[in-house]
Amino acid sequence: MGAGHAHALYVHEHSPVHRLAPQVKLAAAFGFVLAVAVTPREAMWAFAIDAAALAVVVRLARLPVAFVLARLAVILPFITFAFLIPFVGSGERVDVLGVSVSQAGLWGAWNVLAKATLGATVSILLAGTTEIPSILRGMAQLRVPETFTAIAAFMIRYLELIAGDLRRMRTAMTARGYDPRWLWQARPIATSAGALFIRSYERGERVHAAMLSRGYTGTMPALDRRVATKREWLIAAIAPGVATGTAITAFLALM
């Protein structure tokens, strides 16, 4: 997990959002998502304001719109489920394009669609402007338990190693003519998965023993102790502040 380690969701840029301290962006993302989550579903205008605020931040971060939209495909299963809610929901029924659907189900579908889209966009924005090591350092600055950050760091690193091993094994199997077309031909895949698990477990033991021999005590040395400035905190507070203000206004308007 060196300083140069990046991931597929990160966009190399030099925007004002990229330059913000990671702990500031983490706190802002959490505050924004929390405000969106508690916003009443009936306040459709509130979600429009939240979306506009996010669009401004995406623009400042210089993230391509196509990049954000492509990554939003991860919420398609949730959207598919949301579209089924009006048909299976109970309560008062209304006609939409000649089809009888549940009114409460319509609100539920809108609630899932709006909040899932906004929350996923925040995650994409955070990952697109902050490298994984910086996110972990930001979590440490926010006093997240060290055990949690250490587990997260090793998990990310070894998921990539396991994925690389899996790709090489698949290439080797293909080079030897393995081309399964039926379910009962999948036995080599199960065998390979077992071998991969054992290899990964043994690698983890070797790495842990090597770390202990070098004085590892459960915490990684901090390579960057950057402290966020007050200006950075104020800038990062704008978007969650807008979302919080919108949520409070929406609650008051519905009272």
In this structure, is residue 230 part of a structural domain?
yes
Question: Are 159 and 131 part of one and the same domain?
Answer: no
Question: Are 199 and 165 part of one and the same domain?
Answer: yes
CA 169 to CA 60: how far, in whole Å?
42
In this structure, is residue 32 part of a structural domain?
yes
Q: Which of 177, 136, 147, 167 is nearest to 25 (CA)?
A: 136
- Work out whether the CA dihedral 21, 25, 26, 27 comes out positive or negative: positive
In this structure, is residue 89 part of a structural domain?
yes
CA 193 to CA 173: how far, in whole Å?
13
Q: What are 37's two structure tokens? A: 């989550």
In this structure, is residue 1 part of a structural domain?
no
List of E strands, 66-193 = 93-96, 99-102
Question: Are 78 and 128 part of one and the same domain?
Answer: yes
Burial of 150 (0-12, 13-18, 19+ CB in 10 A): middle
Question: Are 25 and 97 part of one and the same domain?
Answer: yes
Kindly report the number of other CB atoms within 10 A of residue 190's CB atom: 9
Helix (H, G, I), strand (E, B) or coil at 191: helix
Q: Which H or E run includes 13?
A: none
Question: Are 51 and 133 part of one and the same domain?
Answer: yes
Q: Which H or E run includes 42?
A: none
In this structure, is residue 2 part of a structural domain?
no
Contacts of residue 158, defined as CB under 8 A and 6 or more positions apart, other chains included, come to 200, 203, 204
Question: Are 241 and 126 part of one and the same domain?
Answer: yes
Q: What are 77's two structure tokens? A: 């299963």
Question: Are 160 and 69 part of one and the same domain?
Answer: no
Q: Quote the number of domains for the chain.
A: 2
Question: Are 236 and 120 part of one and the same domain?
Answer: yes
Task: Tell me the backbone φ, ψ of residue 100, rounded to 5 degrees.
Answer: -80, 120
Question: Are 166 and 202 part of one and the same domain?
Answer: yes
Distance separating the N- and C-terminal Cα atoms of the chain: 50
One digit per residue, the tens of pLDDT, for the chain of length 255 reads 444 445 678 888 889 999 999 999 999 999 999 999 999 999 999 999 999 999 999 999 999 999 999 999 989 888 888 888 888 777 778 777 777 788 888 888 899 999 999 999 999 999 999 988 888 888 888 888 888 888 888 888 788 888 888 888 888 888 887 776 666 667 777 788 888 888 888 888 898 899 889 887 777 666 666 788 899 999 999 999 999 999 999 988 887
Cβ atoms of 147 and 218 within 8 Å: the answer is yes
Residue range of the domain that includes 111: 16-139+226-254
Q: What are 70's two structure tokens? A: 């492509």
In this structure, is residue 221 part of a structural domain?
no
Question: Are 97 and 206 part of one and the same domain?
Answer: no
pTM (global) more than 0.95? no
Residue with tokens 């959490």: 30
Amino acid at the residue 38: V
Question: Are 57 and 112 part of one and the same domain?
Answer: yes
In this structure, is residue 219 part of a structural domain?
no
Question: Are 125 and 85 part of one and the same domain?
Answer: yes
In this structure, is residue 207 part of a structural domain?
yes
